[in-house]
Each structure stands twice: as structure tokens, then as C-alpha cells.
Amino acid sequence: MAKQFRKKELSREDDEDETAQNRKEKERGVKRQPTSPHEANDDDDGSESEQERLRDQREREQLDRNIRERDAAATRKLSEQKQAFTTRGSNIVGDVETLRKVSRQEYLKKREANKLKELGESIEDGEYLYKGVKLTEVEYNRLSYEKKIYELATKHEAATHHDHDHDQYYRIPEPYDDHEGGVNQEKRFSVALQRCWDDDLNGRDNKSNQFAEQKAWEDQQIGKATLKFGSKNKRRKCDEEYDFVFEDQIEFVKKSVLLEGDQMIANGNVDVGKVQPSHQLDKLREERKTLPIYTFRERLLQDVEKNQVLIIVGETGSGKTTQIPQYLHEAGYTKGGKKIGCTQPRRIAAMSVAARVSQEMGVKLGHAVGYSIRFEDCTSEKTVLKYMTDGMLLREFLVEPDLASYSVVMVDEAHERTLSTDVLLGLLKDIARYRPDLKLIISSATLDAEKFSDFFDSAKILRIPGRRYPVDIHYMEAPQADYLDAAIVAALQVHVTQPPGDILFFLTGQEEIETAEEIFKHRTRGLGTKISELIICPIYANLPTELQAKIFEPTPEGARKVVLATNIAETSLTIDGIKYVIDPGFSKMKSYNPRSGMESLQVTPISKASSMQRAGRAGRTGHGKCFRLYTSYNYDSDLDDTTVPEVQRTNLANVVLTLKSLGIHDLVNFEFMDPPPCEALLKALELLFALGALNKVGELTKVGRRMAEFPVDPMLSKMIVASDKYKCSDEVISIAAMLSTGSSIFYRPKDKQVHADTARLRFHSGNVGDHIALLKVYNAWKEANYSTQWCYENYIQVRSMKRARDIRDQLERLLERVEIKLSSSNDLEAIKKAVTSGFFPHCVRLQKNGSYRTIKHPHTAHIHPSSGIMALEHHLLPRCVLYHELVLTTKEYMRQVTEIKPEWLVEIAPHYYQLNGVVEEDYSNSKKMPRGKGRTSTSKQIPNLVDYSICV
């Protein structure tokens, strides 16, 4: 049965490909024999609508070709640029820089033009003189184009009937952690549950809401029918509404409709919205039966029973995450005290899903159903369904290497391929061999299913349809050089021509978002209240929480919200009411160069998988549209299918330490789904050896075992372990916590930069270095009784501080476990020495030109301007400093820098540094030396650490 199902799925996909190909060949005049009955039918179908469809198709393809030829040059140029992006190499930086510079210049040029515009309020018709200032033609055109927007908008507004259900889409989450007293548990899950409740229960009482949903649902069904029978009329009408008025307008071509699995809903006897039981729990139970996955229950259980590993392809809204563990529980997989574990990549997901499931089962959260995330274990001995983050399960491996207490492990959202997921998959595959009774369920997206199946020795794939609305995808007709500008024009186009519904706009980072915000404000200013209001909402992770809440505020009637978001909106947070998505096709991605040990954030083109994800954001509450700011040709030929998994572009020191402490010595043969570069593994091993976590043959040492206990980077954990010796563990864990918050501690608003800087420099008094400054910040905050007000006064991010406190508390608890006494010391030198014990590989020496050079490998770096050391006079720059991290932005910058004495290096890491290498006086004269000679002297300083062939 199940086999047939899979076959059917495959053949359906094949058919689609076949027909597309068939059509193309037909056009070239090639006759083809039909290969399947379905296809033959397709060919014989001579109905009028079918012919019309084919004609349309042909016309469109002809148009495509024309466009392609016309813009061949431009396309080639862009694809060359993109090629350079995708090539993993050194030229990547230069290209990104050039592109951004061009984009910036364009923007500045346009801002200049806008300034002229600001000289007056009104737009005079047909005059090149504007408030007495002579305008150039471009300026004049710009003005008249603003006027066109204005006119169109007025017309459009008059014609548009306001959608009164509009603000039903929005729900304001209530803060739960802003109380000084702690967390309000009641409110805590309210946001997460709200959507479920609103959609599932309360929604029924709320007629208009149900109406909206019902209507959208019907629209989808109609849309499907339209698509199926080839009639284009309805869609045509839709396209005709496009009335391009922009001088630099962007033309889009509608290419495809994202419609996944919903045909199967219609066949699957799923009846939505007819259940009206009286009791709430019954209601929930009935609700469960309406989920698409319900019809697959028996099949799923059979498959799980027969196979050890099962790959589930469940689209969004299929209910897999909440239902599968329940089905397994009902089928008796939790007998004998065994647990079912389900991992999620994000904390919030683990929490909210567990809360939902506990309600469906009518049990209290933390009893039979629980969740386990960092800083919070909400489980008990009775827990049988355990939701957790993937990193948490990884930690559990350390305690229970065979996961003996689990009967089933479900890895949800595996296609996201986070670092933890990848490691987890390797480990699970490993233990599955020794535990035939352990069942594995891997949930993935469509694109990767085969790959997961291959990885788990051709595991069976079960496909479950989702419940999602169609999304029309529009591509640009011709590539644009300045994507930011193009994106803004596109957003304005949507604003003036499309029916109500909010716009989600994907940008790469904070800077770009701020620029875009500025441009938006400029462009809409002159139009005042005449076009319907455009509310700009920036959202990125570093934005203070209270400003983030703005995106959830209801949109006033008649206005439209534009959410300018980073990747955060791709997976991590969901904004209801989004109908339009604008996707420029770029994002920032972390990449790691194992040779220099440098991590950097680069603007790179996104993958097809993530562009699908972005498009899907428009189809959550109804039929949506996605505008891609690249051509369909770019999409097909330039974008990778999937994003490079994190394991291949990150520092692996922590992963290697974890694996080693799990007793996995043979790292090269450890089964990663996508093995990381060998160099990265070697680099990690080298570092761990230098830190003393591994011995010469690559085995974990006692120090290494203690280090593995701490959930922080190996260098930080080494620093903590070393603090025992210097009797300053209290201070060092504070520093470690502050360094591992991830986000910046200091807040620097644009309008108060001077104040923020002076506030920051207060913590640097006495030129103590950034590490000690962080300690001072933490201690001062502690003395201020962890006050939020104190943070505002000192321009410090409250969120980062709270996180640092959580991490610190956890580290403090762990100290006991590795038998380190909590001891406090006022001796700054001792603290710095402890820091040096962890970070000695990150030491640099001053060169004559004011930059720094790494001692071990020749590499130039600069102190980041945010460092306290930069406040010093140039001639006072310390000779030798240690840094926490190296980041590549415009230059190679060292962040969090502290002065150290070169002698410490020899004292602390004699195996790493030799005396002559560190205290050498003519260190900055390397330029005068012949290159070969210089190299010899460098290589002399590197002792032959270890024969890696043994340990890998």
C-alpha cells in the first residue's frame, strides 16, 4: 500500500516534468511517442481550453525567449557576478564590496535628487522650474513620477473596498519576561497557543475570522480548479490590475504557482470546519482528526513498525510534529518506561509544540508531555513524549550514549541542517546499528527527502500533504543592478496596485534595513495622506524587544504594513497577514576559513530551497504573491538547490570535542551526511591539542573531559578550566558568559552615538582591556540589582545581559560537576592569565604601521573600533594583545581585545610558543627580509605538534 503511494507520488512529479518537456519539444517540431497513459491522454485532449492553454504557453515561452535574448548581455553580467559569489574563494569579498558600493552610490545619488524635491511642497505640472530652481530632466521626471503614484493611489483608494477583516490577522503577543520579578508562566505560552486556538477553536466563535479563513480556503479550491482546467481568465484579470506607473518600474512575469500537496487534501476525505463538539477536549480530539496527517495514521504506524528508519515529508500544516509522537504513544511505543523524543531546531518551537500536545492529550505540561531546552527542563520521570531542541539531545548523548531510554527519536525540520541536526543524524545512524529496537523518524522538506533516504540506507519515504494556500510567483523580466532600489520600487508597486495585505521584505542585515527604511520614508513623504499609509516595520534579531513587538501590532484600517526583515522571518518568526513577499534573493551567510580560522558573514545568493521557504511565507493565511527580484533564468541556472549545510562552513572545534568525548575517535570516517572539509577537522584537532584537550594520539585528556562539560566554545571552556589554577573562576565565568551571548552588549542608537560611546568607555577606565570591561559591566549590572533601567542609562542591551546571566548561572552549576571551586579574586593579572590560557592561539603583535599580526601564522588584523583600546592614542597601542574573535567586514577586525604580556605566552603555552618567537625585537621588519627567509623563521616557531595521521 505504502509502496504504491510512493510510486504514485514519484510518477506524479515525473508527469509534470514530462509535460513541460513535451511542450518544449512540440514547439521545436519534435514528435514524441507518449510514454505513459496519462501523458497520452494529455496529448489527445483536444478541448478548446486545452488548446488555449497550449497557445498561451507558447506565447509566453516565445516572450520569454525574446526577453532572454534582449537581455542576454545583462543576464550574463549578473550571472557572472553571481558566479563569483557562489565560487568559494578569495574574490568573493571584492565582488560583494563592489556591488554594495555601487548600490550605495546609486542610493546617494537618488537622495541628492530628493533633497531638491524637498525645496517645495507641491508638484507643478509641466514645468521644469520648481520653486525657482531649474530642474534637470531626471529630477523633473522623478517629480512627475511621484505625482503619478499619487494619482494612481488616489484612484485606487477610491475604488478599493476596505477589507474589514484586515486586522484580524494580527495578534499582539503579551510580554511575559518583562516583569522584574521573573517570568509570567500564564502569559508565557499565550502567544504560541494563540494561533492554534484562534484557528482551531475561538475562530469558530468569531464569525468574521472563520469567514476569512473559509473564504481563503475556497479561493484556493477555485484557484486549483482554474489551474487544472487551463482557463487563464481569472488570473489574467488579476494581472491586468497591474498598472505600472514607475519610471524605473520593474516588470514581473508570473511563472509558477507554489501548490504543494493540496490536491491530496481533496482526495483525502479531510473535512474542515464541520466539527462542533461541546466539550473542549473532545473538540481538540475532533480537531486532530481534521489534520491532513490523520488519514495516514494507520499507514504511518505500519511503516514505523516495519522499518527502523522512516523519512517523513510533511508540508507545513500537516500536523506531523504534534501528531506523530501522539500516534506512536497511542500505539504503545511508550510502554516499559521508554520515551519518544522529538527534536526541534528552535527553543520556542519545542516549547509551544509541547504545550499544544499536552493540551490535546489533556495532561499537564511537564508530566506525560514535556520539553527540555537549555536553561529549562520541563520534564519529569513520568514524561513519555519529550520535545527538545536538537542541541539538547546531543547533550543527552553525553549522559546516555545509546539513548537507552528512548524507543523512538523523531528529528523534525531536519532539512534545515543545523550543526546539531547534522551531528545528531550521524550519531543516530551510528547507534541504530546497535539498537535495532530504536525507531528513527526524520522529517524533511520535499527537496531533500531522497538525500535523507540515501543517507539512511534507502529508508522509506512517506509523504504527507500540507495545508497551505497557493502562492503566485513572479519573476523579474530583466535583472536589475541595484537590488535594494528595485526592491523598494517593487514594494511601492505592490502598495499602490494590490489589494490589502501586508508586505514582507527580505533584506540581508541591519544596515540595509535602515537604509531601506530611510528610502521608504523619503519616497512616501511628499505623498502624505493621499496614498494609503505605509507603515514600515524593521525586524532583526538585534533590535530591542520592545521595538520588535511593533511588527505584531494591528495595521490600522486602510494602511499597509511593510515588514523589513532579515532571515529571522524565514523560519524563526511568523507574521500573520503577510500576503506579499518581496525576495531580492540575497542573505548573509556565515562562512569559515579553516586556514586562517576566520569566520565571516558574506552576502550570498540564497538557495532554491530558501527562496521556496520565503515564498511560502506569503501563503499562510490566504492566497499570496511572491515577487522575486531576479529572473526565472537566474533562478534556474544560478541558484543552488539547497543551502550549504552549516557543518561545512563553521568552526568545528566544539563538534570535535563533543564527538571525542562520546568516544568517537575516527572522525574522518564519522558518517556526516555532508562531510565537512578535512582542513576544518584538522584545524579543530590542532586547536584542541594546543588547548590540551587531546593528547598526542588524539585521545581526550582529563582537561578535555572537563571542557566538554561546558556548553561553550572550547577556548572559553579552557579558560574556565584554567581559572581554577588562578583562583578567579567567579570572574572568569562572568567573562565567558558575556562573551558567549552572541549578540552585542552595547547598544548604539544612531541619534545618540556620542552618549553611547562615552557610556561604553566608562567601563574601560584604567585601560583594562575589553574582557575586563565586560566583567565590569556584568558586575555593575549585578550591583544595580539586574536593573533594566540601569541598562537603558548605560546604553546596554537588556536582552544580552539577561542571557549572560542565564549562561553564567548554568556555568556556575557546572563548575561543581567538574570539581572547580567558585573562587573570586581582585587580581586583574590573574584573570587575564586565565583568559590567556584559553585564548593563547589568538595572540597578535603590533607592527609599525599600527596594525597587528598573528604570532603563529602570518596574518594581519586590525583592532575593531568598538574596542576600548581604540580610545588610546596611537603611540600607546599595546605591543601584544589577545582577541576573542576575528571577523571579516571591511577589514579583518579583532573583536574583544585585551593587552597581555608576551612573557605569559611562554609561561602558559610553552608547547605553542617559544621564547625567541614571542619576545623577538625586530618583529616588524619582516618586510625587509627575503620572503623565503622570513618563512623559514616562522616555521621554526611552530613545533611539530602532533602527527595527525594518528589521531584522525
**C-alpha to C-alpha distance for 710 and 653, rounded to whole angstroms:** 13
Phi, psi of 645 (to 5 degrees): -60, 150
Is residue 598 involved in binding DNA (CB under 7 A)? no
Would you say 134 or 590 has its CB closer to DNA?
Answer: 590
**C-alpha to C-alpha distance for 283 and 204, rounded to whole angstroms:** 11
Would you say 368 or 814 has its CB closer to DNA?
Answer: 814
Residue with cell 515525473: 14
Stretch that binds DNA, among 58-66, 222-230, 460-468, 538-546 (CB under 7 A): 538-546
How is residue 843 written as a grid cell? 595572540
> DSSP labels for 68-81?
HHHTHHHHHHHHHH
Taking the complex as a whole, the smallest distance from the CB of residue 882 to DNA amounts, in Å, to 19
Taking the complex as a whole, the smallest distance from the CB of residue 357 to DNA amounts, in Å, to 18
Q: Count the residues in the chain.
A: 952
Is residue 418 involved in binding DNA (CB under 7 A)? yes
Which DSSP state fits 554?
Answer: P
Would you say 81 or 515 has its CB closer to DNA?
Answer: 515
Sheet containing strand 385-389, edge to edge, reads 376-378, 369-373, 385-389, 339-344, 406-411, 439-444, 309-314, 460-464
**C-alpha to C-alpha distance for 79 and 466, rounded to whole angstroms:** 34
x/- string (CB under 7 A) for DNA, residues 645-684?
---------x------------------------------
What is the helix (H) or strand (E) element at residue 847, kind and residue range? none
Three-class SS of residue 887? strand
Stretch that binds DNA, among 89-97, 203-211, 413-421, 927-935 (CB under 7 A): 413-421
**C-alpha to C-alpha distance for 64 and 23, rounded to whole angstroms:** 14
Q: Of 94, 742, 766, 858, which lies in the binding site for DNA, with binding defined by CB under 7 A? A: 742
Sheet containing strand 560-565, edge to edge, reads 252-258, 471-476, 624-628, 578-583, 502-506, 560-565, 534-539
Is residue 593 involved in binding DNA (CB under 7 A)? no
x/- string (CB under 7 A) for DNA, residues 814-853?
----------------------------------------
Is residue 566 involved in binding DNA (CB under 7 A)? yes
How is residue 733 written as a grid cell? 565565568
Residue with cell 541591519: 510
Is residue 345 involved in binding DNA (CB under 7 A)? yes
Would you say 343 or 524 has its CB closer to DNA?
Answer: 343
Task: Please name the residue ranges forming H helices in 867-908.
Answer: 902-908
Q: Of 113, 348, 363, 481, which lies in the binding site for DNA, with binding defined by CB under 7 A? A: 348
What is the helix (H) or strand (E) element at residue 273, kind and residue range? none
Classify residue 456 as exposed, middle or buried by CB count within 10 Å of its CB (0-12, 13-18, 19+): buried
Q: Of 321, 567, 632, 723, which lies in the binding site for DNA, with binding defined by CB under 7 A? A: 567
Is residue 870 involved in binding DNA (CB under 7 A)? yes
Is residue 343 involved in binding DNA (CB under 7 A)? no
Would you say 67 or 720 has its CB closer to DNA?
Answer: 720
Stretch that binds DNA, among 217-225, 739-747, 773-781, 875-883 (CB under 7 A): 739-747
Would you say 322 or 654 has its CB closer to DNA?
Answer: 654
Taking the complex as a whole, the smallest distance from the CB of residue 243 to DNA amounts, in Å, to 35
Stretch that binds DNA, among 118-126, 462-470, 582-590, 783-791 (CB under 7 A): 582-590
The CA R_g of the chain, rounded to the nearest whole Å, is 30
Would you say 520 or 746 has its CB closer to DNA?
Answer: 746
Would you say 57 or 321 has its CB closer to DNA?
Answer: 321
**C-alpha to C-alpha distance for 723 and 838, rounded to whole angstroms:** 10
Would you say 420 or 498 has its CB closer to DNA?
Answer: 420
Q: Of 85, 483, 506, 540, which lies in the binding site for DNA, with binding defined by CB under 7 A? A: 540
N-to-C CA span, the chain: 45
What is the helix (H) or strand (E) element at residue 427, kind and residue range? helix 419-434
Phi, psi of 260 (to 5 degrees): -115, 125
Stretch that binds DNA, among 191-199, 740-748, 780-788, 823-831 (CB under 7 A): 740-748
Amino acid at 68: R
Is residue 103 involved in binding DNA (CB under 7 A)? no
Is the separation of the CB atoms in 897 and 869 below 8 Å? yes
Taking the complex as a whole, the smallest distance from the CB of residue 778 to DNA amounts, in Å, to 17
Total residues binding DNA (CB under 7 A):
48
Is residue 887 involved in binding DNA (CB under 7 A)? yes
**C-alpha to C-alpha distance for 480 and 485, rounded to whole angstroms:** 9
Phi, psi of 567 (to 5 degrees): -55, -15
Stretch that binds DNA, among 9-17, 232-240, 503-511, 773-781 (CB under 7 A): 503-511
What is the helix (H) or strand (E) element at residue 171, kind and residue range? none
Instruction: List the interface residues with DNA, window 367-406 (CB under 7 A).
Output: 373-375, 389, 391-392, 394-395
Taking the complex as a whole, the smallest distance from the CB of residue 612 to DNA amounts, in Å, to 17
Is residue 84 involved in binding DNA (CB under 7 A)? no
Q: Of 508, 515, 621, 794, which lies in the binding site for DNA, with binding defined by CB under 7 A? A: 508
Cβ-Cβ contacts under 8 Å for 406 (sequence gap 6 or more): 338, 339, 340, 341, 438
Q: Of 68, 338, 346, 725, which lies in the binding site for DNA, with binding defined by CB under 7 A? A: 346
Which DSSP state fits 202?
Answer: I
Q: Of 148, 588, 608, 665, which lies in the binding site for DNA, with binding defined by CB under 7 A? A: 588
Taking the complex as a whole, the smallest distance from the CB of residue 496 to DNA amounts, in Å, to 29
Is residue 611 involved in binding DNA (CB under 7 A)? no
Residue 626: closest CA among 804, 504, 759:
504
Would you say 275 or 887 has its CB closer to DNA?
Answer: 887
Would you say 211 or 375 has its CB closer to DNA?
Answer: 375
Is residue 802 involved in binding DNA (CB under 7 A)? no
Would you say 498 or 600 has its CB closer to DNA?
Answer: 600
Would you say 431 or 568 has its CB closer to DNA?
Answer: 568
Is residue 893 involved in binding DNA (CB under 7 A)? yes
Stretch that binds DNA, among 323-331, 404-412, 563-571, 941-949 (CB under 7 A): 563-571
Q: Of 264, 353, 369, 419, which lies in the binding site for DNA, with binding defined by CB under 7 A? A: 419
**C-alpha to C-alpha distance for 385 and 339, rounded to whole angstroms:** 6
Stretch that binds DNA, among 255-263, 292-300, 450-458, 583-591 (CB under 7 A): 583-591
Is the separation of the CB atoms in 714 and 687 below 8 Å? yes
**C-alpha to C-alpha distance for 617 and 603, rounded to whole angstroms:** 21
Question: How far is C-alpha 696 from the geometric centre of its chain's CA atoms?
Answer: 38
x/- string (CB under 7 A) for DNA, residues 684-713?
---------------------------xx-
| Backbone φ/ψ region at 336: left (φ over 0), alpha (ψ -120 to 50), beta | left
Q: Of 511, 666, 671, 816, which lies in the binding site for DNA, with binding defined by CB under 7 A? A: 511
Residue 718: closest CA among 684, 738, 686, 688:
688
Taking the complex as a whole, the smallest distance from the CB of residue 34 to DNA amounts, in Å, to 46
**C-alpha to C-alpha distance for 43 and 667, rounded to whole angstroms:** 55
Long-range interactions of 123-132: CB distance < 8 A, separation 24+? 123/147, 123/150, 123/526
Stretch that binds DNA, among 82-90, 292-300, 773-781, 888-896 (CB under 7 A): 888-896
Question: How far is C-alpha 611 from the geometric centre of its chain's CA atoms?
Answer: 12
Q: Which residues bind DNA (CB under 7 A)?
A: 345-348, 373-375, 389, 391-392, 394-395, 418-420, 508-511, 540-542, 566-568, 572, 587-590, 601, 654, 711-712, 740, 742, 744, 748, 753, 757, 865-866, 870, 887, 889-891, 893
